[in-house]
A and B are shown apart, each in its own frame.
Chain A
Amino acid sequence: GENVEQHPSTLSVQEGDSAVIKCTYSDSASNYFPWYKQELGKRPQLIIDIRSNVGEKKDQRIAVTLNKTAKHFSLHITETQPEDSAVYFCAASRNSGYALNFGKGTSLLVTP
């Protein structure tokens, strides 16, 4: 089955700096890669996703890059703000109907 590795497990940055979280996956058939933000005690919220037919996607301060050959994808947050502090999960899955395989999560702390 799919195995998703995520690094780092914790990340502390100063407000205004960039944060990068990296994930690798094992199943070459995976073609959907979402990123979720989860605040304590709340549901995961989709913040950005990318499909295998593109290499990069950007939404304001958030961007995701995908390298299908190397089987890795990354989340980039620029100009970080304290409210970006949360746990971020990457995930991978095949087509519709397949479950998401989550990474172990990255606890991001943005200090003012």
Chain B
Amino acid sequence: GAVVSQHPSRVICKSGTSVKIECRSLDFQATTMFWYRQFPKKSLMLMATSNEGSKATYEQGVEKDKFLINHASLTLSTLTVTSAHPEDSSFYICSARGRDGRHPYEQYFGPGTRLTVT
């Protein structure tokens, strides 16, 4: 299967600061990347869909100015949480979908990033 990495795996930051999370597809080119947020013992909530070279599409209720998504290349998407607050503390997971047609539907998930805002 394809490999997706995320960095950092864990981050603690102070309220008001910004945090950048990277999502990389290591052995395939990802035309589409998705960002999810997961609260403890809850399901994955889609935040935004990111297509390479174009603006991300945000889900209803997700503030695009707070959660900045950049998908500058076919192997990298970043999520920046700006002016983080304690309520932004969560588990953020990205996933990537390939372009070569071998797995046109399947999403490959990153290992997640645990963000704690103090």
Contact = CB atoms under 8 A, between A and B. Distances in A.
Interface residues of B, number: 24
Contacts of A105: 42-43
B46 A96 contact: no
Interface residues of A, number: 25
Contact of B46 (A32, A34, A99, A104): A99
Nearest to A32: B105
Contacts of A43: 93, 109-112
B42 A100 contact: no
Nearest to A87: B41
A107 B111 CA distance: 20
Contact of B42 (A44, A51, A104): A104
Contacts of B106: 34, 46, 49
Contacts of B110: 43
A80 interface: no
A93 interface: yes
Contact of A97 (B45, B97, B114): B97
Contact of A99 (B34, B41, B91): B34
B58 to A, nearest CB: 11
Contacts of B77: none
A51 B106 CA distance: 11
Given A34-B106, A34-B107, 16 more contacts: A42-B112, A43-B110, A43-B111, A46-B107, A87-B41, A89-B44, A93-B105, A97-B51, A99-B34, A99-B49, A102-B45, A102-B46, A103-B43, A104-B43, A105-B42, A105-B43
Interface of A: 32, 34, 36, 41-46, 49, 51, 87, 89, 93, 95-97, 99-105, 107
